[in-house]
Amino acid sequence: MTTEPLTPPAGAGDSYAQSRNTTEGRVYTVTGGDWDEFIDESGGEERVVINLGPQHPSTHGVLRLVLELEGETVTNARSVIGYLHTGIEKNCEYRTWTQGVTFVTRMDYLAPLHNEAAYCLGVEKLLGIEVPRRAEIIRVLLMELNRISSHVVFLATGAMELGSTTGMTFGFREREEVLHLLEFLTGLRMNHAFIRPGGLAQDLPENYRERILDFIKVMDERLPDYDKLFTGQPIWRQRLQGVGYLPLDGCLQLGVTGPILRSAGLAWDLRKVEPYSGYEEYDFEVPTSTDADCFARFVLRVEEIRQSLRIIRQCLDKLEPGPVLVDDPKIAWPAKLAIGPDGMGNSLEHVRKIMGQSMESLIHHFKLVTEGFDVPPGQVYSPIEAPRGELGYHLVSDGGTRPMRVHVRDPSFVNLQAFPAMAEGGLVADVIAAVASIDPVMGGVDR
């Protein structure tokens, strides 16, 4: 029994698979058929340039990779970005300082709480204020939960791209656990806008401690499965060891941070080297390796999940009753940012109070919500350790109620320039593993 190919070979008369001459040489659009037949059609030319993306399932979103091949070996690689540009940085200049939180949380959509925290730390530095201790501890708690959810998505997508559907279902199963918990704590699964300048939108709900402890118990039970499925699995090790190699000097020259830098042997973690939000109080380790390959980056991220769980336990022990918003009527809303049971607007009790008892309070509340608060002139850079590396916010104020400039040093954007160094000289199949180990999020790259 013989079957006809779904798509005829290049040059066989199909309008979707014809060849044409360009200044770079002859170009073929291949939409199916056999690779060997295509090589024969092209006259056996060994140098081939292919597009991977921008909608390829293995490119972590709308990332386009242009690869020049000789046989199966990548001789030249470059990434093409900009397909997900949102203009978030510029949009922040047309909103109040508080409203900016709702924009920045949408940049790196796998680390929304880290973006909120870095942005708010910059605003608070310009204001010269310190948030209450309870708010600071809750911020750390939320960021570490967010780090876990980001890393399990790395495990899930990386496994899926390399052929492990079981790893994909494991990773997204764990991510759902984190997102359910974050929804309970903040009201939303993603794009929380929960961390605000001066503190938090509101306090944690009742029974938060029990829910978090239940989550820790679930993760403690499931994490060993990753070691069984991946770490000790010979096929997984052979697929990743020695692939995407980037030594320490290459990392430093390219400005790479996060797990990629630590996989090359440098224990650079801003939570340790430049502590913020009280991280100096927490007892945790910064895992490192000297293998500098894809397997080392995988192992480090699994260990970072364990360290995040360790920090979360300490957060629960440190939490004591107290305010979650700075006590400054010029910055904090009179409503104390209370939210009603529908998750929208202010609590009915507060609305009744300000409307029935104090006209001045109502006017002040209205002006603070619509116009925002003034931030003293100046500029600041506030870096934190996000799941992918150093996430920094450069904020410039001209003394008004809106930022004059917001610029973000996103780790995905900087780390992505290491892709050619990892991929060139390797095989096409290893390009997928190298990009997966970088773990780029295109929302953060394009902004």
Helix/strand/coil for 71: coil
CB 298 within 8 A of CB 437: yes
Does the CA dihedral 204-206-209-215 come out positive or negative?
negative
- Residues 283-293 have a mean pLDDT of 89
How far apart are alpha carbons 342 and 355 in whole angstroms?
20
Q: What residue numbers bound the domain in which 380 lies?
A: 88-327+373-446
User: Is 53 inside a domain boundary?
Assistant: no
Q: For a pLDDT cut of 70, what percent of the chain falls above it? A: 83
How far apart are alpha carbons 76 and 70 in whole angstroms?
10
User: Is 149 inside a domain boundary?
Assistant: yes
User: Is 272 inside a domain boundary?
Assistant: yes
Domain tally, the chain? 1
The tens digit of pLDDT for each residue in 132-154 reads: 999 999 999 999 999 999 999 98
CB 162 within 8 A of CB 244: no
How far apart are alpha carbons 28 and 5 in whole angstroms?
18
The tens digit of pLDDT for each residue in 204-218 reads: 888 888 899 999 999
User: Is 427 inside a domain boundary?
Assistant: yes
CB 263 within 8 A of CB 243: no
CA end-to-end span of the chain, whole Å?
A: 53
Q: For a pLDDT cut of 90, what percent of the chain falls above it? A: 18
Q: Which residue has the higher pLDDT, 242 or 350?
A: 242
User: Is 287 inside a domain boundary?
Assistant: yes
CB 418 within 8 A of CB 251: yes
pLDDT of residue 24: 61
> If you ran DSSP here, which 8-state letter would residue 227 be given?
I
- Mean pLDDT is highest, among 80-84, 224-228, 302-306, for 302-306
- Residues 77-102 have a mean pLDDT of 88
Residue-averaged pLDDT of the chain = 82
How far apart are alpha carbons 441 and 95 in whole angstroms?
25
- Residues 332-342 have a mean pLDDT of 55
CB 14 within 8 A of CB 30: no
User: Is 39 inside a domain boundary?
Assistant: no
CA nearest to 193, candidates 102, 93, 114: 102
Q: How confident is the model at residue 6 (pLDDT cuts 50, 70, 90)?
A: very low
User: Is 365 inside a domain boundary?
Assistant: no
pLDDT of residue 49: 80
Q: How confident is the model at residue 40 (pLDDT cuts 50, 70, 90)?
A: low
Q: What is the CATH number of the domain that holds 192?
A: 1.10.645.10
User: Is 81 inside a domain boundary?
Assistant: no
Q: What is the pTM of this model?
A: 0.84
**Position 22 pLDDT exceeds 90:** no
